[in-house]
Amino acid sequence: MNGAMQCVATVAVPVPAHACERSIDAGPRRAGEPLVPHAIARLATRALWEELAVFPKPGLVSLRDAGAHSDMDASTFVRSLFALRGYFRAIAAAGARAAPFEQLRTLGQRAERAMLLATGGVNTHRGAIFALGLLGAASALASARRERLTDGAVRATLIDAWGADLAFPVPVHSSPSHGTHVSTRYGATGARGEARAGFPSVFEVALPALRAARRQGLDARRVRLAAFYALLENVDDTNILYRGGVAGLVHVRRSAQAFQAAGGVGAADGIARAERMHLDFVARGLSPGGCADLLASALLVDALQTAVA
């Protein structure tokens, strides 16, 4: 990899229709009525779109450029988004009826195949298929039980319904992932460990940072970036370990800590400093894809909670 940025500003990227819509389903939903799988799917797809669109996320693909990647750009991600819409609806429906974990895993494997077909073999959303799929399923089940989608309710539902299955070393994907490789080499827990613990990086890192930024009156872009940089500072991202080893992870964590100490995205020069960090990560070939998946997961949970508030 030569580390050169690939500009995609001139690429015609189709915008998902739901990205500009305020409603989440076909009509108004009465208070206490469960969220339908279609609504959860729309919010999951929108969360992935919002993660893609926000910039600058150091090293990652956005609508601005391809980050540290030479095999994908924003249009690759959009093709994947459209391919996954049916999966999110199906896994929410399965979750609502407390389907066995094996059924969820089968749906995830089918979604991965659809993603690879849509992208020409490029892995854009493997981690998101797992994380947003499980969170969507847990939210659907909690909603079907007429529970409020509080942080605690979503986490408890996930662990109660499928935690025991997640504790077993059964491969979630049909082929070994970078996360699997890194978990074996470095002992990082990765996506499966996150899910088994009820996604602490989502509920204890990203969402608190997002809510704090919102209370400060920051705009939507900075609110999302605040959640991302909190993740960057705290998560042992297996994609970083795969690309840059322990030295790469140390550089990422120290860069994020220095960024936060200087005021984060809320500072007057926050965006400019974030863009410089982006260029640094690109030059080093570092891409925190795990943090991107966790950001999208937090955006999904936040949207679901807003929808049922």
Name the strand (E) or helix (H) holding 9.
none
**Distance separating alpha carbons of residues 96 and 44, to the nearest angstrom:** 15
Question: What pLDDT score was predicted for residue 238?
Answer: 87
Q: What integer pLDDT is reported at residue 242 of this predicted model?
A: 84
Q: What is the pLDDT of residue 232?
A: 97
Residue whose structure tokens are 């690879």: 116
Q: How far apart are CA 65 and CA 156, in angstroms?
A: 38
Integer Cα distance of 214 and 62 in angstroms: 22
Question: What are 63's two structure tokens?
Answer: 């609508």
The reported pLDDT for the residue numbered 126 is 93
Q: How many residues does the chain have?
A: 309
Dist. CA 279–CA 186, nearest whole Å? 27
* Residue reference for tokens 């608190």: 208
Structure tokens at 190: 């990765």
Residues of the chain where predicted confidence (pLDDT) is lower than 50: 1-11, 17-28, 172-173, 184, 186-188
Whether 281 and 252 have beta carbons less than 8 Å apart is answered as: yes
Q: For the chain, where are the E strands, in sequence order?
A: none
- The region, left, alpha or beta by phi > 0 then psi within -120 to 50, assigned to residue 59 is left
* Distance between CA atoms of residues 126 and 293, nearest Å: 9
Alpha-carbon span 283 to 273, nearest angstrom: 15
> 9 phi and psi, to 5 degrees?
-60, -30
Distances (CA, A) of 252 to 186, 212, 285: 16, 23, 11
pLDDT at position 163, please? 95
Exposed e or buried b per residue across 202-223, where buried means at least 16 C-beta atoms within 10 angstroms of its C-beta: bbbbbbebbeebbeeebeeebb
Q: How far apart are CA 241 and CA 220, in angstroms?
A: 30
CATH topology classification for 32-178+187-307: Triphosphoribosyl-dephospho-CoA protein (1.10.4200)
pTM of the entire structure? Answer: 0.87
